[in-house]
Homo-oligomer: A and B are copies of this chain.
Amino acid sequence: MTALEGGAQSARVHIVGVGLIGASIGIGLTAEGWDVTISDADPQAERLAHAIGAGRALAGDAPRPDLVIVAVPPSAAADAVVTSLRTWPQAVVTDVASVKGPLARAAATAGLAERYVGSHPMAGRETSGGRAAQGDLFKARPWVVCAGSAPRSAVALVAAVARTLQADVVEMEAEAHDAAVARVSHAPQVAASAVAAALGPLQADDVALAGQGLRDVTRIAASEPAMWADIARLNSHSLIATLEHIIADLEDVRDADDIGEALTDLIERGRMEVARIPGKHGGATRDWVPVTVIVPDSPGQLLRLLTDAASAAVNVEDITIEHSPRQPVGLTTLHVLPESAPALVDALIAQHWEIASS
């Protein structure tokens, strides 16, 4: 019985490349009982991915995979897809690269397009590598599937992976996908870096004036450049068209007789588009609530805070520490389950902590 006949849950999956995306897929599928093997050109990355539950190494006598997921850097993806199609002639092969047209063309050129299905899980983090992997990385995120000339059974197998990881499957043509992601992902990355680079002339004290707006706009500017360079090369046509659009709008503001009027027009058009972004208030956020505490910036305070939180039998799910320059106190936010928040606030007040907001 093959996976396609027996249902996707029994499919054997092999993941080539266990960076952030590959390892996250491995963790999520393994947790759901799938039979997952992994391989990576870097033995240390493979060992780390195994240690955090992404799957077991591919032994010589392992059964052949039903599905191979290529999760290598975009520039290497086309070669790895074709190699995988040839190495496992019974397997469906997919990949996770952010640009889909060039990969579809590579599979077609090799004459193997009927076993190739393009994937693009629209999830990521500003950090990379298997150490940042999360089994729930894809939850409630779009997972684009580009069928190309593959049969429905092959598409169904890939879609089953996406659904198991609780992603939302979206079928698109490869070229339409590439045009869209230039605008929703690739050009925003370039613009964020340009905004960040424009801080260059400022002194450190000037940069310290940054508020949450700048932090939000430039968060993705912390990304590693290598993957984005690959993406820009693979999707240069659509990316350049989008940059043209953005540059023209910025030039209109720069050159206007009344800069206020020009900016009002741009902001109004931007607001209309922002309103079209689904779930624009954070997307699939977890159901935690923040409790923000004023914490003296001295040794041992964080431990004392967590000890006091633990004394209320409250488990802290996440911590955000906001360090304020030139000031003896900082704001630390503890993220907890909603039902725990009142008890946490009471316990911290009883221990003489000052709550900034909850």
Please list the residues of chain A having a beta carbon within 8 angstroms of any beta carbon in chain B.
27-28, 31-32, 48, 51-53, 122-124, 126-127, 131-136, 139-142, 144, 166, 168, 170, 172, 176-177, 179-181, 183-185, 187-202, 204-226, 228-230, 232-233, 236, 239-240, 242-247, 249-251, 253-254, 258-261, 263-264, 266-271, 273-283, 285-286, 292, 294, 299-300, 302-303, 306-307, 309-310, 315-331, 354, 356-357
Q: Chain B CB within 10 Å — which of A32, A123, A194 has the most?
A: A194
Min CB–CB distance A157 → chain B (angstroms): 20
Provide the residues of chain B in CB contact with A183, threshold 8 Å. 198-199, 201-202, 206
In the assembled complex, the Cα of A74 lies from the Cα of B103 at a distance in Å of 52
Q: Assess the A240–B259 pair: CB atoms within 8 A.
A: yes
Out of B188, B226, B260, which one reaches A217, CB within 8 Å? Answer: B188
Least CB separation from A44: chain B residue = B357
Task: Give the shortest distance, in Å, between A315 (CB) and chain B (any CB).
Answer: 4
6 A-B pairs whose Cβ atoms sit less than 8 Å apart in the complex: A168-B324, A168-B326, A193-B270, A207-B273, A222-B271, A243-B253
A196 to B48: give the CA distance in the assembly, Å. 39
Q: How far is the CA of A163 from the CA of B281 in the complex (A)?
A: 31
For the complex formed by this chain, how many copies does it contain in all? 2
Give the residue name and chain of the B residue nearest to A219 (CB): B216
Choose one: B202, B211, B217; the contact of A122 (CB below 8 Å).
B211
Given contacts A221-B267, A228-B267, A320-B281, contact A209 B325 (CB under 8 A): no
Known contacts A194-B266, A209-B184, A328-B53; A323 and B218 CB within 8 A of each other: no
Which residues on the B side are within 8 Å of A192 (C-beta)?
Answer: 213, 217, 270
**Are A215 and B53 in contact, with the CB atoms below 8 A?**
no
> Cβ of A277 and Cβ of B326 under 8 Å apart?
no
B-side contacts of A259, CB under 8 Å:
232-233, 236, 239-240
- When the two chains form their complex, are residues A329 and B53 in contact, meaning their CB atoms are under 8 A apart? yes
- Nearest chain B CB to A238's CB is how many angstroms away? 11
Task: Identify which of B132, B266, B277 contacts A210 (C-beta below 8 A).
Answer: B277
Which residues of the other chain, B, contact A233 by a CB distance below 8 angstroms? 258-260
Nearest-CB residue, chain B, relative to A262:
B232
> Quick check: A184 and B170 within 8 Å, CB to CB?
no
Select from chain B the residue with minimum beta-carbon distance to A51. Answer: B294
Q: Is the CB of A208 within 8 A of B329?
A: no
Chain B residue at minimal CB-CB distance from A313: B299
Q: Please give, as numbers and ranges, the residues of chain B lying within 8 Å of A142 by CB-CB distance.
A: 208-209, 211, 325
